[in-house]
Amino acid sequence: MTTDRDETDRTPAVCDQIHVDLGERSYEVVIRDGLLDHVGEFLAPFQLGPDTVIVTNPVVKRHYGARVIRSLNAVGLKPIVLALPDGERTKSLKWVARVLNELLRRRYERKAWLVALGGGVVGDLAGFTASMYLRGIPFVQVPTTLVAQVDASIGGKTGVNHLLGKNLIGTFYQPKLVLIDPGALRTLSPREYRAGLAEVIKYGVIADAEFFEFLERGIAQILKLEPAALQRVIRTSCAIKAAVVAEDEREGDRRRILNFGHTVGHALETLGGYRRYTHGEAVAIGMVVAARLAERLGLADASVGMRIRALVERTGLPADLPPRSASALLRALRQDKKVQDRRIHFVLPDRIGHVVVRPVEEPEIRRVLAARQPSA
């Protein structure tokens, strides 16, 4: 029998593998178009127990559930599927409890394992649940959004939200494996895709000037999800995240560079009640602001900020702060957890491909927040 799938299987897809080096908690990140049909093969060597639970949501289940189940069936596994409601609000203790109840009701033992199939919401929640059930069962990340593929699925930060704030309850708990199928992004909304590209741009600025140049050259192809360009986007982003995490698993100093754009980004999210901007949009504005701050402090020349702004705009992400937002933003910044000794810490690019972390005095911040922003 010939199916479309057999056709694609004959074209050798590029397969990249990145090692996340964390001693006995090390694992591989595999990136390959069509991987959703091969999840079972990649898991078979782990000889995990027969009790397999796919944690997902109805949207992702509809698109990809059958393919993943088929691939698990092919290696003799009969997973159950828990499709939790779509959306950030599901990332809560209530839904963790429901998943735990389900595992307990079925009397699943320590050899049971979870497959997180979905975006960052599913991944964070499933990882957190896995870290707690019987003091920890293995779990695997199968991320299906760009945010999850280049960021949330790697590094072992798991958790849920609380009424008092995002991600306040969580653990560090690494997956056994991360399986990334770039093809899954074809069903993602353009807005969610661009949100992931904000984090991708971030990686270029903080760690890799050549990658940033590649993004500048290739943004048109990347926005069209051209496979070769997309593969490189994901591979390089994952490699940078993996390297930073390997140096600093539990968020000491080194991992803080991943917060580039996030200081102002988080403040914008808080002010907008998490509705006005996606996380990626807020980070995009935050990166432009941080670059202007770096220029104002004499750390970077104007071209750094201009290039970041231009790439952000060509990606279709916002670059400008909402008008008259300076005072409210400053208040939100003061409440951010990165405030130490009443000074606000920023990740500042001194050139493309390199950042420094520095406390910045409030008057400097206010000046940059209040200034009219030049366009590139």
Ligand X SMILES: NC(=O)c1ccc[n+]([C@@H]2O[C@H](COP(=O)([O-])OP(=O)(O)OC[C@H]3O[C@@H](n4cnc5c(N)ncnc54)[C@H](O)[C@@H]3O)[C@@H](O)[C@H]2O)c1
Annotation says 361 is catalytic: no
Cα–Cα distance measured from residue 227 to residue 183, given in angstroms and rounded to the nearest whole number: 8
Using CB under 6 A, pick the residue from 28, 88, 102, 251 that binds ligand X: 88
**Residues 113-172 interacting with ligand X (rule: CB under 6 A):** 118-122, 124, 144-145, 147-148, 151-152, 155, 157, 167
- Catalytic-labelled residue, pool 176, 254, 255, 314: 255
Tracing tokens 């694609």 back to the chain, one arrives at: 8
197-27-50 Cα angle (round to 5): 110
Q: Is 259 a catalytic residue?
A: yes
- Give the footprint of ligand X on residues 57-86 (CB under 6 A): 57, 59-60, 63, 86
Q: Is 367 a catalytic residue?
A: no
Residue matched to tokens 């079972």: 40
The Cα–Cα gap between 152 and 305 comes to 26
The structure tokens listed for 158 are 């798991």
Contacts for 130 with CB less than 8 Å, ≥ 6 apart: 113, 114, 136, 137, 138, 139, 158, 173
- Clarify whether 241 is annotated catalytic: yes
Contact call for residue 51 and ligand X (CB under 6 A): no
Q: How far is the CB of 142 from ligand X (least distance, A)?
A: 10
Least distance to ligand X, CB of residue 87, Å: 6
CA angle 288, 289, 292 (to 5 degrees): 90
**Closest chain position to ligand X (CB):** 120
Least separation in angstroms between CB 342 and ligand X: 27
Quote the least distance from Cβ 121 to ligand X, whole Å. 4
Q: Is 340 exposed, middle or buried (0-12, 13-18, 19+ CB in 10 A)?
A: exposed
The residues in 293-322 that bind ligand X, with binding defined as CB under 6 A, are: none
Annotation says 266 is catalytic:
yes
Known catalytic membership, residue 157 = yes
Shortest spacing between CB 147 and ligand X, in angstroms = 3
Site map 187..226 versus ligand X, x via CB under 6 A: xx---x--x-------------------------------
Q: Is 184 in the site for ligand X (CB under 6 A)?
A: yes
Told to judge if 279 belongs to the known catalytic residues of this protein, a careful annotator would answer yes
Cβ contact 177:27 at 8 Å: yes
Note the helical H segments in the chain: 4-10, 39-43, 58-60, 66-73, 93-105, 120-132, 146-147, 190-207, 209-223, 227-247, 262-271, 279-296, 302-314, 326-335, 362-370
Please report whether residue 20 would count as binding ligand X according to CB under 6 A.
no
Q: How far is the CB of 172 from ligand X (least distance, A)?
A: 10
Cβ neighbour number for residue 297 with a 10 Å cutoff: 17
| Residues labelled catalytic | 135, 157, 199, 241, 251, 255, 259, 262, 266, 279
The residue ranges that bind ligand X (CB under 6 A) are 57, 59-60, 63, 86, 88, 91, 118-122, 124, 144-145, 147-148, 151-152, 155, 157, 167, 184, 187-188, 192, 195
